[in-house]
Amino acid sequence: SGPSKTFHSKGDEEEKPKSISKKLVKGSLRPGRAGVKQFKSKQQSEKLSRKRKYQDGTQEESDSKKPKWNDFKRKKKELKQSRQLNDKSNYDVIVKSKQIWESLRRKKCDKEKREKLMNELQKLLHGKIKNLAFAHDSTRVIQCFIQYGNDKQRQETFEELKDSLVELSKSKYSRNIVKKFLMYGTKQQIAEIIKSFKGHVKKMLRHAEASAVVEYAYNDKAILEQRNMLTEELYGNTFQVYKVIDSF
């Protein structure tokens, strides 16, 4: 009979070395890498905390620099009142005229009461209309005075303002005074207003406020002759030269 076969148990076999992954080998070759990662993360967290502190600091500074609007409005109001009190004559007139205007502009105001208020307003504004025409709060009073006034009152107002019609047309609030004259004025007053625009039409049409006044005058109030006068300036110097030659 042949030699007997011997069976070795697993324990008897010599333990073979286990295969080590490359990743572990690489990690073992660099023993300080985990420490480096921890150091980097610590640095980043410190940077973030410093950045947050800086942002909080800058935000506090910007908040301190921002003006407090309630204080700003209060100071502005006080400055306005002090400026008005310095020019006390106009200030008193504006305050009184606005009180009359509040009653005058209401629909409930009857004819007799309106006439009485208009006479009071006429005495109050006499000789001061030009000074008040450019103020934003008193322009409405003058507009109302032109609208509800009689021919004599309108003419008195027109005489005070006729030398400043172009300037009034260029003002944001005062341009409405010129428009009121174009709406409620006599034919003679309308003709004088349109005539005052001569030589200024180009500049007025390029102006944000005055262009609306010229447009209204041209479209709604001007006759053919007045329209031609307004448009002549837009044709250039050649037209003006030939016009002079034709007139001879």
pLDDT at 15: 52
CA distances from 95 to 65, 98, 124, 136, 157 (A): 37, 5, 11, 13, 19
74-247: CATH number: 1.25.10.10
Q: For the chain, which residues make up each domain, given as ranges?
A: 74-247
Rounded Cα gap, residues 134 and 101, in angstroms = 17
Q: In this structure, is the dihedral angle defined by the CA atoms of residues 83, 88, 94 and 96, taken in order, positive or negative?
A: positive
| Mean pLDDT of all residues in 21-32 | 51
- The pTM of the full predicted model, rounded to 2 decimals, is 0.63
More confident residue, 92 or 244: 92
Q: Where are the alpha helices (DSSP H) in 11-150?
A: 22-29, 33-65, 69-86, 88-104, 111-125, 129-133, 139-148
Rounded Cα gap, residues 170 and 212, in angstroms = 10
More confident residue, 246 or 229: 229
pLDDT at 73: 79
In this structure, what are the phi and psi dihedrals at residue 209, rounded to the nearest 5 degrees?
-90, -45
Percent of the chain past pLDDT 70, that is, above it, reads 65
Q: Tens digits of per-residue pLDDT, 201-239?
A: 999 999 999 999 999 999 999 999 999 999 988 887 776
More confident residue, 119 or 4: 119
If you average pLDDT over every residue of the chain, what do you get?
A: 79
